[in-house]
Amino acid sequence: MTRWSPTSALRTIARRTLPISARNRLIGFYFKREARLKQAIKKRFARRPVPLSRYPAIHEAAAFADGPVLLVNNALASGGVERQVVNTLRALGQRDDLSIGLLCLRLGFSPDLDFFKPALAGFRGFARNAMSLTDAELALRSTLQDSRLSTMRRSLAWMPADIQEEIIRFAAEFLVLKPRVVHAWQDSVGISATYAAKIVGVPRILISSRNVRPTNFAWYRPYMELGYSEIASCPDIVMINNSIAGAADYAQWLNIPTSRLVVKRNGLDMTGHRRATPDVVSSLRARFNIPERAEIVGSVFRFYGEKRPLLWVEIAREVARRRPETHFVIFGEGPLLQDAVAAARGYGIGDRFHVPGKIDDVAVGVSLFDIFLLTSEFEGTPNVVLEASAVGIPVVATDAGGTAEAIDQDVTGFVVHSVDPSVLADKIVDLLSKPSWRANVATEGPAFVENRFGMSRMIAETLQLYKLPTA
Q: Distance between CA atoms of 446 and 4, rounded to whole angstroms?
A: 53
Longest dimension (CA), the chain: 73
pLDDT tens digits for range 132-181: 999 999 999 999 999 999 999 999 999 999 999 999 999 999 999 999 99
Mean pLDDT, range 327-356, rounded to an integer: 97
Select 278-453's CATH number: 3.40.1190.20, 3.40.50.2000, 3.40.50.2300, 3.10.28.10: 3.40.50.2000
Among 122, 125, 131, 84, residue whose Cα is nearest residue 102: 125
Q: What is the pTM of this model?
A: 0.83
Q: Distance between CA atoms of 251 and 271, rounded to whole angstroms?
A: 35
Q: Distance between CA atoms of 208 and 186, rounded to whole angstroms?
A: 6
pLDDT tens digits for range 194-226: 999 999 999 999 999 978 899 988 788 999 999
Q: Distance between CA atoms of 224 and 220, rounded to whole angstroms?
A: 7
Domains 6-267+456-466 and 278-453 equal at CATH topology level? yes
Q: Distance between CA atoms of 310 and 308, rounded to whole angstroms?
A: 5
Q: Distance between CA atoms of 382 and 261, rounded to whole angstroms?
A: 19
Ordered by start, the domain boundaries in the chain are 6-267+456-466, 278-453
H helix intervals, 36-131: 38-46, 80-92
Is the confidence at residue 240, as pLDDT, over 60? Answer: yes
Q: Distance between CA atoms of 168 and 388, rounded to whole angstroms?
A: 41
| Phi and psi torsions of 331, nearest 5° | -90, 130
Which pLDDT score, from 0 to 100, does residue 270 have? Answer: 84
Q: Where residue 5 falls among pLDDT bands split at 50, 70, 90?
A: very low
Q: Where residue 4 falls among pLDDT bands split at 50, 70, 90?
A: very low
Q: Which residues pair with 395 in a beta bridge?
A: 372, 413
pLDDT tens digits for range 356-382: 999 989 999 999 999 999 999 999 889
Which pLDDT score, from 0 to 100, does residue 308 have? Answer: 97
Q: Is 6 exposed, middle or buried (0-12, 13-18, 19+ CB in 10 A)?
A: exposed
Is the confidence at residue 272, as pLDDT, over 90? Answer: no
285 close to 359: Cβ distance less than 8 angstroms:
no
Mean pLDDT, range 6-32, rounded to an integer: 56
253 close to 213: Cβ distance less than 8 angstroms:
yes
**Number of Cβ within a 10 Å radius of residue 69:** 24
Please name the amino acid found at residue 406. A
Mean pLDDT, range 337-364, rounded to an integer: 96
Q: Where residue 352 falls among pLDDT bands split at 50, 70, 90?
A: very high
CA angle 420, 425, 429 (to 5 degrees): 160
Is the confidence at residue 32, as pLDDT, over 80? Answer: no
Which pLDDT score, from 0 to 100, does residue 28 have? Answer: 61
Task: Write out the H or E segment, with its range, that includes residue 438.
Answer: helix 435-453
Q: Where residue 6 falls among pLDDT bands split at 50, 70, 90?
A: very low
3-class SS at 241?
A: strand
pLDDT tens digits for range 408-434: 999 999 999 999 999 999 999 999 999
Q: Distance between CA atoms of 263 and 244, rounded to whole angstroms?
A: 6
Which residues are CB-neighbours of 17 under 8 A, at least 6 positions away? none
Pairs from 395-398 (Cβ < 8 Å, separation ≥ 24): 395/371, 396/371, 396/372, 396/424, 396/427, 396/428, 396/431, 397/373, 398/308, 398/311, 398/374, 398/424
H helix intervals, 359-411: 362-367, 383-390
Question: Taking each helix axis from N to C terminus, what angle separates 223-232 and 187-200, rounded to the nearest 10 degrees?
Answer: 40
Q: Where residue 3 falls among pLDDT bands split at 50, 70, 90?
A: very low
458 close to 264: Cβ distance less than 8 angstroms:
yes
**Domain 6-267+456-466 homologous superfamily, CATH:** Glycogen Phosphorylase B; (3.40.50.2000)
